[in-house]
């Protein structure tokens, strides 16, 4: 009998896909023929779901028997994007379902386009978690993600008169075929209340009686690996009231209060905080963090106990947890509470187990972005955890005092105060804060940064005191991205060309094989094919620009892209300034000179946190400049600027394959890693960038001379900031400032704070050193133009980028985590 991918993976012999899709539409949705693309999507997704669940069940049956060590990736964010395309490709069902849809008169690409993004994350950190899940499953590593099933994910961004407007992301209303509710998996999570000491059988125990309790309800999201039978899991928690209605209150006629309790519970998993930098000290945010950590740890411990009883000393051989930034750091205190208060272990034994099980990844350089919670807030919401953190801190500072015994007492006291987990708020001496990064470091076995330069900054600056004491705790794990979603599936044309050329598709899970393309980098006929693919992808992006802005763009132009969250440190503003400068130069040129100019289509996209005023002004500046440039008959064939609204994972999948130049121009030392830079590199897009984050390693792999690197280095930043007041700005810069201030793009008053923020005499004092890098940036842009005029050289570089991207597969990153930090080994179910 012929075996389809579905039968080898899942086992369930199924009806032909077209029949199955029609059945799903008939019996789940009551539809009979005449489907829209959205209908076809739902029918297809519910059909594919069954194969996914078969594979999931098989994998978990295998893991239950084998009982391997598991890695649990704890993250407040998982930015998954769409699932249909990824699932059918990863399961090897693409051909079967594409054919089925064709037979029914539909096109897979259009059908897949009807899916809503699962946008349960802000940006880099959340998308990294999603790429990691793909790699863990592909590498057969026993591992789950744990997070929150937000009812509303990242807000939808719309533009109104060029200003950002936020709209709720209502993503669950048509149902979610990619999740399975586990009605048998629920845990209680408590908040507030009081803590008492009681004697039980002569032993003193601590009892926490919360004043508020909610239920965490599990939803499983199967994660299919590629080219393997493994399907792992992302378990997300939904918050529900303890009882459907508080019956007591209801019977007493207090209907309002019963409803309020319900709302209060549901609020916990209602919405993702759209803040990707400065943490808001909102209590609800802390509640979300504890909510998912508490449910996840209870879940893991209950599975452990079902197999190993109370032999908790072997917990570190069976489970480890990766803390994705400090967001889940309350896990340190929660694991202690569960082991000591609930399971009755003694403190020291529990502490040994806890620190063996936990590891922490830092994603941030900026000190103001490090999470700190007021002791007052923590003590009220999590009184027992606050006590535990105090005891941890007492033990820690006592240990430190011994460890630093050789120092003079004054120096010693200073060092201890600087490393105390609980410390004064430097801006408000009345307030005490819990430093979550310090708690994470003290409570973990390993601490890592996300790119080489960033890990050095973690060691030498951010956590230097700790590094001096535990040098071997600190590691680097350079980020990566999944080559499935970010090359093979989003750019099937390029993937086919690569496979043809290398004679194998093995590069999809062994990206080092892409290095084989270097041999073809200067091959004219290969370059022609390479260029044809880029042109086809540019045509798709042009169609999207047409759909959104109504404009036809010159498809021969250089497509120049900057897509990422809007942030001052990422310096979209610097990009806009150079575009204005280019515009002014073009205006001055004679027709002959203009004929020699390299035409550009510039695209900027990204969301501003809703309360980030300066970022919103930057968006408005982009749209205002675009309005002037795109309508000017003198220049409109040579320069365009478009802001693409609602940048998200799906949009990235269209934009990145079409990009020829991408911008990664953060102030050196501020972007921890960046991951879109890796996606662009994989798709043969040249990079203009600063010596920052993973740009450095990308340049090393691609050949530094193939990258347009500019600007000051991280080591110089502190000194340059001190000298800002004496910095002499470039005359071209001064001219641009006068233009914006003078109303060349309208909205004078609204743009004034932007102008002030980069003025060396004003409060902002150009903290991100735009003025310092301005001249070098314009020069690098001239190099870009010169290179683009030499298409053979441009294409050679483009090929060298893809060829050099092997290191940046998240498979490599995950292998390193598995070996150096997690100590988990692959366990593959039989096909």
Taking CA atoms, 133 is separated from 72, 84, 108, 708, 814, in Å, by: 10, 16, 25, 32, 9
Site string for ligand 26Q, 21-50 (x = CB under 6 A): ------------------------------
Exactly one of 49, 640, 679, 807 is catalytic; which is it? Answer: 679
The 372-374 sheet, strands edge to edge: 372-374, 428-435, 422-425
273: contact with ligand 26Q by CB under 6 A: yes
Please identify, using beta-carbon distances, which residue of 136 and 338 lies nearer to ligand 26Q. Answer: 136
Binding-site member from 445, 673, 695, 813 for ligand 26Q (CB under 6 A): 673
Assess whether 363 carries a catalytic annotation. yes
Please identify, using beta-carbon distances, which residue of 151 and 287 lies nearer to ligand 26Q. Answer: 287
End-to-end CA distance of the chain: 16
Give yes or no for a contact between 217 and 41, defined as CB atoms under 8 angstroms apart.
Answer: no
122: contact with ligand 26Q by CB under 6 A: yes
236: contact with ligand 26Q by CB under 6 A: no
662: contact with ligand 26Q by CB under 6 A: no
Q: Tell me the C-alpha distance between 441 and 466, whole Å.
A: 8
Exactly one of 51, 58, 385, 570 is catalytic; which is it? Answer: 570
185: helix, coil or strand? strand
- Minimum Å gap between C-beta 568 and ligand 26Q is 13
Site string for ligand 26Q, 512-551 (x = CB under 6 A): ----------------------------------------
Assess whether 570 carries a catalytic annotation. yes
- Minimum Å gap between C-beta 645 and ligand 26Q is 20
Assess whether 64 carries a catalytic annotation. no
Helices (H) and strands (E) in the chain, counts: 34, 24
Please identify, using beta-carbon distances, which residue of 280 and 500 lies nearer to ligand 26Q. Answer: 280
- Interface positions, 336-365, toward ligand 26Q (CB under 6 A): 363
- Minimum Å gap between C-beta 672 and ligand 26Q is 4
- Spell out the residues 6+ positions from residue 435 whose beta carbon is closer than 8 angstroms to its own: 370, 372, 420, 421, 422, 423
- Minimum Å gap between C-beta 280 and ligand 26Q is 5
Cα-to-chain-centroid distance, residue 303: 29
Number of residues lying near ligand 26Q (CB under 6 A): 23
Binding-site member from 10, 43, 124, 383 for ligand 26Q (CB under 6 A): 124
Q: Which residues pair with 323 in a beta bridge?
A: 74, 360
751: contact with ligand 26Q by CB under 6 A: no
- Interface positions, 369-408, toward ligand 26Q (CB under 6 A): 371
- Interface positions, 422-451, toward ligand 26Q (CB under 6 A): 450
Exactly one of 138, 675, 690, 802 is catalytic; which is it? Answer: 675
476: contact with ligand 26Q by CB under 6 A: no
291: contact with ligand 26Q by CB under 6 A: no
Please identify, using beta-carbon distances, which residue of 273 and 489 lies nearer to ligand 26Q. Answer: 273
> What count of Cα atoms within 13 Å lies in the side-chain half-sphere of residue 741?
12
Work out the number of other CB atoms within 10 angstroms of the CB of residue 796.
19
Please identify, using beta-carbon distances, which residue of 623 and 810 lies nearer to ligand 26Q. Answer: 810
Assess whether 675 carries a catalytic annotation. yes
- Minimum Å gap between C-beta 118 and ligand 26Q is 16
CA-CA-CA-CA dihedral for 366, 117, 542, 792, to nearest 10: 60
Please identify, using beta-carbon distances, which residue of 246 and 646 lies nearer to ligand 26Q. Answer: 646
Q: Tell me the C-alpha distance between 212 and 313, whole Å.
A: 32
Q: Which long-range contacts (CB under 8 A, 24 or more apart) does 300-304 make?
A: 300/70, 300/72, 301/338, 301/343
Please identify, using beta-carbon distances, which residue of 354 and 479 lies nearer to ligand 26Q. Answer: 479
Give me the DSSP letters along 274-305.
--SSS----HHHHHHHHHHHHHHHHHHHHHHH
Stretch touching ligand 26Q by CB under 6 A, among 119-127, 258-266, 645-653, 695-703:
119-127
Give me the DSSP letters along 36-102.
-HHHHHHHHHHHHHHHHHHHHHHHHHHHHHH---EEEEE-S-EEEE--HHHHHHHTT-HHHHHHHHH
Please identify, using beta-carbon distances, which residue of 217 and 673 lies nearer to ligand 26Q. Answer: 673
Q: Tell me the C-alpha distance between 328 and 77, whole Å.
A: 10
- Spell out the residues 6+ positions from residue 413 whose beta carbon is closer than 8 angstroms to its own: none
Please identify, using beta-carbon distances, which residue of 280 and 700 lies nearer to ligand 26Q. Answer: 280
Give me the DSSP letters along 462-519.
ITHHHHHH-GGGEEE----B-HIIIIIIT-HHHHHHHHHHHT-SGGGT-GGGGGGGGG
Please identify, using beta-carbon distances, which residue of 213 and 285 lies nearer to ligand 26Q. Answer: 285
H-only helix segments in 683-817? 695-702, 717-722, 731-741, 748-757, 770-789, 791-803, 810-817
- Locate the DSSP E strands across 304-344: 319-324
Give yes or no for a contact between 124 and 361, defined as CB atoms under 8 angstroms apart.
Answer: no
Comparing CA positions, the residue from 238, 186, 206, 146 lying closest to residue 386 is: 206
Give yes or no for a contact between 234 and 147, defined as CB atoms under 8 angstroms apart.
Answer: yes
Assess whether 679 carries a catalytic annotation. yes
Binding-site member from 238, 671, 766, 811 for ligand 26Q (CB under 6 A): 671
Stretch touching ligand 26Q by CB under 6 A, among 118-126, 159-167, 740-748, 780-788:
118-126
Binding-site member from 213, 285, 308, 815 for ligand 26Q (CB under 6 A): 285
> What count of Cα atoms within 13 Å lies in the side-chain half-sphere of residue 272?
31
Exactly one of 42, 327, 564, 664 is catalytic; which is it? Answer: 564
Positive or negative torsion for Cα 731, 735, 741, 745: negative
- Minimum Å gap between C-beta 565 and ligand 26Q is 7
- Interface positions, 675-704, toward ligand 26Q (CB under 6 A): 675, 693
262: contact with ligand 26Q by CB under 6 A: no
Q: Tell me the C-alpha distance between 230 and 142, whole Å.
A: 9
> What count of Cα atoms within 13 Å lies in the side-chain half-sphere of residue 461?
16
Exactly one of 149, 262, 363, 617 is catalytic; which is it? Answer: 363
Q: Tell me the C-alpha distance between 757 and 760, whole Å.
A: 8
635: contact with ligand 26Q by CB under 6 A: no
Give me the DSSP letters along 425-438.
ETTEEEEEEEEHHH
Write phi, then psi, for 323 (nearest 5 degrees): -90, 115
- Minimum Å gap between C-beta 675 and ligand 26Q is 5
479: contact with ligand 26Q by CB under 6 A: yes
Binding-site member from 18, 81, 123, 480 for ligand 26Q (CB under 6 A): 123
672: contact with ligand 26Q by CB under 6 A: yes
Largest CA distance in the chain: 95
128: contact with ligand 26Q by CB under 6 A: yes
Please identify, using beta-carbon distances, which residue of 277 and 759 lies nearer to ligand 26Q. Answer: 277
- Interface positions, 303-332, toward ligand 26Q (CB under 6 A): 327
Please identify, using beta-carbon distances, which residue of 648 and 798 lies nearer to ligand 26Q. Answer: 648
- Minimum Å gap between C-beta 123 and ligand 26Q is 5
- Minimum Å gap between C-beta 475 and ligand 26Q is 14
276: contact with ligand 26Q by CB under 6 A: yes
79: contact with ligand 26Q by CB under 6 A: no
Please identify, using beta-carbon distances, which residue of 381 and 450 lies nearer to ligand 26Q. Answer: 450
Q: Which residues pair with 232 in a beta bridge?
A: 223
Assess whether 725 carries a catalytic annotation. no
Binding-site member from 254, 280, 556, 779 for ligand 26Q (CB under 6 A): 280
Give yes or no for a contact between 600 and 560, defined as CB atoms under 8 angstroms apart.
Answer: yes
Binding-site member from 225, 657, 674, 806 for ligand 26Q (CB under 6 A): 674
Point out the residues that are catalytic. 363, 564-565, 570, 675, 679
What is the contact surface with ligand 26Q in residues (CB under 6 A)?
122-125, 128, 273, 275-277, 279-280, 285, 327, 363, 371, 450, 479, 671-675, 693
């Amino acid at each position: 009998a012929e075996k389809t991918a579905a039968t080898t993976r899942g086992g369930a012999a199924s009806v032909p896909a077209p029949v199955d899709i029609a059945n799903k539409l008939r019996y789940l949705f009551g539809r009979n023929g005449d489907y829209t693309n959205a209908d076809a999507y739902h029918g297809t997704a519910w059909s594919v779901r069954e194969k996914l669940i078969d594979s999931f069940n098989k994998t978990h049956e295998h893991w239950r028997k084998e009982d391997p060590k598991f890695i649990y990736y704890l993250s407040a964010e998982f930015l998954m994007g769409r699932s249909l395309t990824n699932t059918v490709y990863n399961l090897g069902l693409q051909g079967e379902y594409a054919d089925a849809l064709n037979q029914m008169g539909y096109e897979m690409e259009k059908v897949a386009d009807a899916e809503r993004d699962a946008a349960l994350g802000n940006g880099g950190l959340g998308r990294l978690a999603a790429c990691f899940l793909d790699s863990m499953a592909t590498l057969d590593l026993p591992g789950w993600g744990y997070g929150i099933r937000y009812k509303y994910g990242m807000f939808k961004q719309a533009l109104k008169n060029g200003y950002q407007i936020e709209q709720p992301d209502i993503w669950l209303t048509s149902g979610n075929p990619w999740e399975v509710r586990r009605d048998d998996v629920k845990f209680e999570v408590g908040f507030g209340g009081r803590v008492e000491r009681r004697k039980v059988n002569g032993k003193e125990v601590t009892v926490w009686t919360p004043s508020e309790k909610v239920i965490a309800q599990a939803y499983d999201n199967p994660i299919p690996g590629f080219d393997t039978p493994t399907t792992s899991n992302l378990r997300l928690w939904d918050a529900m009231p303890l009882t459907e209605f508080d019956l007591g209150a209801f019977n007493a006629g207090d209907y309002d209060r019963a409803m309020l309790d319900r709302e209060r519970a549901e609020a916990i998993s209602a919405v993702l905080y759209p803040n990707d930098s400065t943490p808001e000290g909102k209590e609800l945010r802390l509640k979300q963090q504890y909510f998912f950590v508490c449910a996840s740890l209870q879940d893991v411990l209950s599975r452990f106990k079902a197999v190993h009883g109370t032999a908790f000393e072997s917990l570190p051989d069976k489970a480890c947890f990766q803390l994705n930034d400090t967001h889940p750091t309350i896990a340190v205190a929660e694991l202690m509470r569960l082991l000591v208060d609930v399971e009755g272990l003694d403190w020291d034994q529990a502490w040994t187990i806890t620190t063996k099980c936990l590891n922490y990844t830092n994603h941030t350089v900026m000190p103001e972005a490090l999470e700190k919670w007021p002791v007052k807030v923590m003590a009220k919401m999590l009184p027992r955890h606050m006590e535990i953190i105090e005891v941890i801190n007492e033990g820690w500072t006592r240990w430190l005092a011994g460890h630093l015994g050789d120092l003079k007492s004054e120096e010693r006291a200073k060092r201890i105060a600087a490393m105390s987990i609980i410390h004064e708020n430097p801006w408000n001496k009345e307030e005490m804060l819990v430093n979550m990064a310090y708690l994470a470091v003290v409570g973990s076995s390993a601490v890592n940064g996300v790119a080489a330069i960033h890990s050095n900054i973690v060691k030498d600056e951010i956590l230097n005191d700790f590094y001096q004491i535990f040098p071997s705790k600190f590691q680097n794990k350079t980020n990566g991205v999944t080559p499935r979603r970010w090359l093979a599936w989003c750019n099937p044309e390029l993937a086919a060309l690569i496979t043809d050329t290398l004679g194998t598709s093995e590069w999809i899970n062994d990206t080092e094989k892409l290095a084989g393309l270097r041999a073809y980098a200067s091959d004219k006929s290969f370059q022609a094919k390479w260029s044809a693919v880029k042109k086809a992808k540019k045509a798709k992006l042009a169609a999207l620009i047409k759909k959104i802005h109504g404009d036809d763009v010159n498809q021969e132009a250089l497509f120049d892209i900057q897509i990422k969250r809007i942030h001052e440190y990422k310096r979209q503003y610097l990009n806009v300034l150079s575009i204005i400068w280019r515009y002014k130069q073009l205006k001055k040129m004679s027709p002959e000179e203009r004929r020699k100019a390299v035409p550009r289509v510039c695209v900027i996209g990204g969301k501003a946190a809703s309360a980030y005023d300066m970022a919103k002004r930057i968006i408005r500046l982009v749209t205002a400049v675009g309005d002037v440039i795109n309508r000017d008959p003198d220049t409109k064939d040579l320069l365009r600027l478009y802001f693409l609204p609602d940048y998200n994972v799906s949009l990235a999948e269209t934009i990145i394959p079409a990009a020829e130049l991408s911008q990664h121009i953060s102030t050196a030392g501020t972007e921890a890693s960046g991951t879109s830079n890796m996606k662009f590199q994989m798709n043969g897009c040249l990079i203009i960038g600063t010596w920052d984050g993973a740009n450095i390693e990308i340049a090393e792999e691609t050949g530094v001379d193939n990258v347009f690197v500019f600007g000051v280095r991280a080591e110089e930043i502190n000194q340059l900031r001190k000298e800002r007041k004496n910095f002499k700005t470039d005359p071209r810069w001064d001219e641009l400032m006068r233009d914006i201030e003078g109303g060349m793009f309208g909205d004078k008053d609204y743009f004034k704070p932007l102008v002030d923020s980069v003025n060396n005499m004003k409060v902002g004092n150009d903290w991100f050193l735009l003025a310092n890098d301005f001249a070098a940036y314009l020069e690098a842009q001239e190099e870009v133009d010169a290179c683009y005029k030499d298409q053979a050289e441009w294409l050679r570089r483009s090929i060298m980028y893809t060829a050099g991207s092997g290191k940046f597969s998240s498979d490599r990153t995950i292998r390193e985590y598995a070996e150096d930090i997690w100590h988990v080994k692959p366990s593959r179910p039989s096909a």
